[in-house]
């Protein structure tokens, strides 16, 4: 690490906002030296609890995050927020508008809001987000909230860097709930039906409840997703078998459904209680450690993939550049598979040599 970065790290640990902002920029830009910086940050992390919030555009994520931050501040905790908005696939530009909704806490520097754009990378954003979370953690934030649009795999990866994931479902999404089913609904630790004062919210809650119960019934949920209410409906013998099943998985988590009206703060306390309950569950069941391990494994994989990717990129350049190769395919001289084999050949032979060295 060079002297500048070291000073920067020092300032960040001292609690200088400007330094935290600059470190996150370096992470976002993949600026030279950012890796050493993040490595150094790791030693100072692990204290913050991280909540991920996702949901369809307009569901009220930013407004809810704002109220969440306000409530945490009232309880005397410091908050870091990472708000992610999509970038244009054409120009790479972006308008990051989440900040406008975060009005309750403006002027309070202990709420650190950072907007990030997707910058069109594959998987890269989830790495950058995870690293930015590390920076805020090392800075000393008690609570970190990641907010993203639940649109695709990339976004799902991002919220997965959180300990607890809340999925916002606006009322009247009716059929939307169906389409979401295979995607973000599966990763929810807490469901939030926001705008609960709107007509149709009862139905949305009902649909979600049915889905959660269906999940546990089919066995995917690990058999432990029944709430107390569900068990009361069963006959005597059924209750007995249910209970023995519960004994096998004493620490299972039933995804709760919280109704909120983020604009006036209704239900936010209940939401915070559920988040806290989930955090407790993670600790008590040992799932927190497991999750952290999975996350580290995923981080290692992503990093390796990116590094190898970069190495191959220069190899590709050596082989004549992607445009020429694509042109050759277009002219019918070769095909993508042959090219991939040819480009990879030197790498393969290198690895082959390594293997023989090791066995000797």
Partner 1 sequence: MSSEQEQESIRCLVAKVGLDGHDRGAHVIARAFRDAGFEVIYSGLHKAPEEVVQAAVQEDVDVLGISILSGAHDTLVPKIMDGLEEYGAKDDTLVLVGGVIPDEDRPELEDAGVSAIFGPGTSIEETIEFVRENAPDR
Gap between the Cα atoms of 164 and 32, Å rounded: 32
- The yes or no reply on residue 117 touching partner 1 (CB under 8 A) is yes
Contact flag: residue 73 with partner 1 (CB under 8 A): no
Interface positions, 278-307, toward partner 1 (CB under 8 A): 306
DSSP 255-303: --EEE-BTTTTBTHHHHHHHHHHHHHHHHHHSHHHHHHHHHHHHHHHHH
Assess contact for 199 and 171: CB atoms under 8 A.
yes
Candidates 54-62, 186-194, 216-224, 311-319; binding stretch for partner 1 (CB under 8 A):
311-319
Give the binding range for partner 1 (CB under 8 A) out of 30-38, 153-161, 214-222, 323-331. Answer: 30-38
Please state, in angstroms and rounded to a whole number, the distance separating the CA atoms of residues 306 and 127: 10
Q: In what order do the strands lie in the sheet with 190-193?
A: 111-117, 79-85, 143-147, 49-55, 164-168, 190-193, 257-259
- Which one of the spans 83-91, 181-189, 201-209, 217-225 is the region binding partner 1 (CB under 8 A)? 83-91
Residue number with CB closer to partner 1 (112 or 191): 112
What is the C-alpha to C-alpha distance for residues 26 and 35, in angstroms, rounded to an integer?
9
Nearer to partner 1, 3 or 100 (CB): 100
Nearer Cβ to partner 1 (117/194):
117
Q: Residue 3 Cβ, how far from partner 1 at the closest point, in Å?
A: 16
Residues 8-27 that bind partner 1 (CB under 8 A): 17-18, 21-22, 24-25
Residue 209 CA to residue 50 CA, distance in Å, equals 25
- Please report how close the Cβ of residue 200 comes to partner 1 at its closest, in angstroms: 29
- Is 198 a residue that touches partner 1 (CB under 8 A)? no
Residue 47: half-sphere exposure toward Cβ, Cα within 13 Å: 16
Residue whose structure tokens are 């650190």: 112
Per CB under 8 A, 323 contacts partner 1:
no
Give the residue, chosen from 45, 115, 242, 302, that forms a contact with partner 1 under the rule CB under 8 A: 115
CB of 294 to partner 1, least distance (A): 24
CA 360/CA 358 separation, integer angstroms: 6
By CB under 8 A, tell whether 310 contacts partner 1.
yes
Query: Looking at 1, 6, 13, 31, which residue binds partner 1 (CB under 8 A)?
Result: 31
Q: Which is nearer to partner 1, 96 or 230 (CB)?
A: 96
Minimum CB separation from partner 1 for residue 41, in Å? 16
Using DSSP, state whether 70 is helix, strand or coil: helix
In the bound state with partner 1, the residue whose beta carbon lies nearer, of 61 and 278, is 61
Instruction: Provide the minimum distance between the beta carbon of 99 and partner 1 in the complex, in angstroms, as a whole number.
Output: 6
Query: Strand pairing partners for 80?
Result: 112, 144
| Residues in CB range of 44: below 8 A, 6 or more apart | 13, 137, 138
- Collapse the DSSP code of 207 into the 3-class scheme (helix H, G, I; strand E, B; otherwise coil) and give the result: helix
Asked whether the beta carbons of 6 and 13 are under 8 A apart, the reply is no
Distance CA 212, CA 254 (A): 8
Distance in Å from the first CA to the final CA of the chain: 37
Beta-sheet pairing, 164-168 with 143-147: unpaired
Is residue 94 a contact residue for partner 1 (CB under 8 A)? yes
* Nearest distance from C-beta of residue 112 to partner 1, angstroms: 5
Specify the residue, 1 or 31, whose C-beta has the smaller distance to partner 1: 31
**Is residue 231 a contact residue for partner 1 (CB under 8 A)?**
no
Residue 100 Cβ vs partner 1, minimum distance, rounded to whole Å: 4
Dihedral of the alpha carbons of 188, 194, 198, 203, in degrees to the nearest 10: 20
Task: Provide the binding-site residues for partner 1, judged by CB under 8 A.
Answer: 17-18, 21-22, 24-25, 29-32, 87-88, 91-97, 99-100, 103, 106-107, 109, 112-115, 117, 119, 121, 124, 306, 309-310, 313-314, 317
């Amino acid at each position: 690490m060079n002297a500048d970065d070291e000073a920067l790290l020092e300032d960040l640990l001292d609690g200088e906002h400007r330094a935290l902002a600059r470190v996150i920029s370096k992470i976002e830009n993949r600026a030279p030296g950012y890796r050493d910086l993040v490595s150094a940050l790791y030693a100072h992390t692990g204290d913050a609890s991280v909540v991920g919030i996702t949901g369809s555009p307009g569901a009220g994520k930013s407004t809810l995050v704002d109220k969440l931050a306000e409530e945490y501040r009232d309880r005397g905790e410091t908050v870091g927020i990472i708000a992610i908005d999509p970038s244009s696939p054409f120009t790479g530009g972006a308008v990051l508008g989440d900040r406008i909704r975060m009005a309750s806490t403006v002027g309070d520097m202990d709420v650190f809001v950072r907007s990030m754009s997707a910058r069109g990378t594959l998987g890269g954003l989830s790495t950058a987000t995870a690293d930015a979370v590390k920076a805020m953690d090392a800075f000393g934030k008690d609570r970190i909230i990641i907010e993203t649009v639940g649109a695709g795999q990339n976004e799902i990866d991002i919220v997965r860097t959180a300990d607890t994931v809340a999925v916002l479902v606006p009322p009247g999404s009716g059929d939307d709930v169906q389409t979401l089913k295979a995607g973000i609904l599966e990763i929810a630790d807490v469901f939030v039906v926001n705008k609960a004062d709107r007509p149709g919210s009862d139905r949305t809650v009902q649909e979600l409840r049915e889905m959660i119960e269906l999940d546990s019934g089919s066995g995917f949920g690990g058999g432990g997703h029944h709430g107390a209410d569900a068990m009361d409906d069963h006959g005597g013998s059924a209750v007995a078998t249910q209970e023995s099943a519960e004994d096998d998985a004493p620490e299972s988590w039933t995804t709760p459904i919280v109704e909120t009206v983020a604009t006036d703060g209704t239900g936010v306390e209940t939401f915070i209680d559920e988040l806290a309950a989930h955090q407790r569950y993670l600790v008590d069941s040992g799932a927190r450690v497991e999750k952290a391990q999975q996350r580290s494994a995923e981080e290692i994989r992503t990093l390796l993939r990116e590094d190898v990717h970069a190495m191959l990129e220069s190899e590709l350049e050596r082989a004549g550049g992607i445009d020429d190769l694509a042109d050759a395919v277009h002219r019918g001289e070769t095909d993508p598979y042959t090219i991939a084999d040819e480009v990879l050949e030197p790498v393969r032979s290198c690895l082959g040599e390594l293997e023989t060295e090791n066995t000797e």
